Amino acid sequence: MLPNTRYQDLEDIEPITVAAYIETLQRQAAPPTVKQHMAAIRMLFSWLTEKGVLAMNPAREVKTERFSRTEGKTPAFVEGEVQKLLEVVETSTQTGLRGRFLPRFWLSCHTHSTTPAIHAFTNASTRYGLTSA
């Protein structure tokens, strides 16, 4: 991506080099792609620094445009869909009971405080024989 740039050693790569690469990439790729590239570059140079291969991480100080997705691509369930899915789970086996219980547990953790969820987990797991009580 950078025009005819050749480096003999990793130590030759400086923050300005990383910044130039990211700047070039920003003109050619979508923000999520740029963010992913920068994360990979940071992790690589961080690892090289931790292992003593490099004395300094040239990507550490490079700033990129902030990007966050405000809407996910996966749509949320509409009312009643979760219940329909849970109703088709076979409950005559331990695996089936777990398959029906865990999504309910996760949903209760997500929508309520964790204390009621912990109590629900304890009560249900004991009731359905999912623990060795």
What are the pLDDT digits (tens) for 94-104? 887 777 777 77
pLDDT of residue 133: 44
DSSP, collapsed to helix, strand or coil, labels residue 76 as coil
Domain boundaries, the chain: 1-67, 81-127
> HSE on the CB side for 111, CA within 13 Å?
6
- What number of other Cβ atoms are within 10 A of residue 59's Cβ? 24
Query: pLDDT: is 128 or 67 the higher one?
Result: 67
Mean pLDDT throughout 12-31?
90
* pTM score, whole prediction: 0.48
Q: What are the tens digits of pLDDT across the range 41-84?
A: 999 999 999 999 999 999 988 877 776 666 666 666 677 777 78
